[in-house]
Amino acid sequence: MTRVSFHFNVPQRLVYACRLLRKATRQNARIAVTGEARTLAELDRALWSFEPIEFIPHVLLRDGEALPERLRATPVCLTASPAAAPHHEVLLNLGAQPPAGFESFERLIEIVSTDEAERNAARARWKHYAARGYAIDKHEVAA
Which stretches of 11-133 are assigned E, i.e. beta strand?
31-34, 58-61, 76-79, 90-93, 107-113
**What is the C-alpha to C-alpha distance for residues 54 and 41, in angstroms, rounded to an integer?**
19
Pairing mode, strands 58-61 and 107-113: unpaired
- Cα dihedral angle (103, 3, 26, 8), rounded to 10 degrees? 110
Q: Which residue type, as a one-letter code, is found at position 12?
A: Q
What pLDDT sits at residue 105?
98
Mean pLDDT of the chain: 95
- Is the overall model pTM greater than 0.75, yes or no? yes
Contact between residue 98 and residue 125 where contact means Cβ atoms under 8 Å apart: yes
Q: In which band, very low, low, confident or very high, does the pLDDT at 116 lie, cut at 50, 70 and 90?
A: very high
pLDDT of 67 over the 80 cut = yes
- Cα dihedral angle (93, 96, 102, 105), rounded to 10 degrees? 10
CATH superfamily of 3-140: DNA polymerase III subunit chi (3.40.50.10110)
CA–CA distance from 117 to each of 13, 36, 120, 135 (Å)?
Answer: 14, 16, 5, 24
- DSSP label at residue 73: T
What pLDDT sits at residue 52?
83
- Helix, strand, coil share (%) of the chain residues, nearest 5: 35, 25, 35
Sketch the domain layout of the chain as residue ranges.
3-140
- DSSP label at residue 71: G
Q: In which band, very low, low, confident or very high, does the pLDDT at 143 lie, cut at 50, 70 and 90?
A: low
pLDDT of 54 over the 90 cut = no
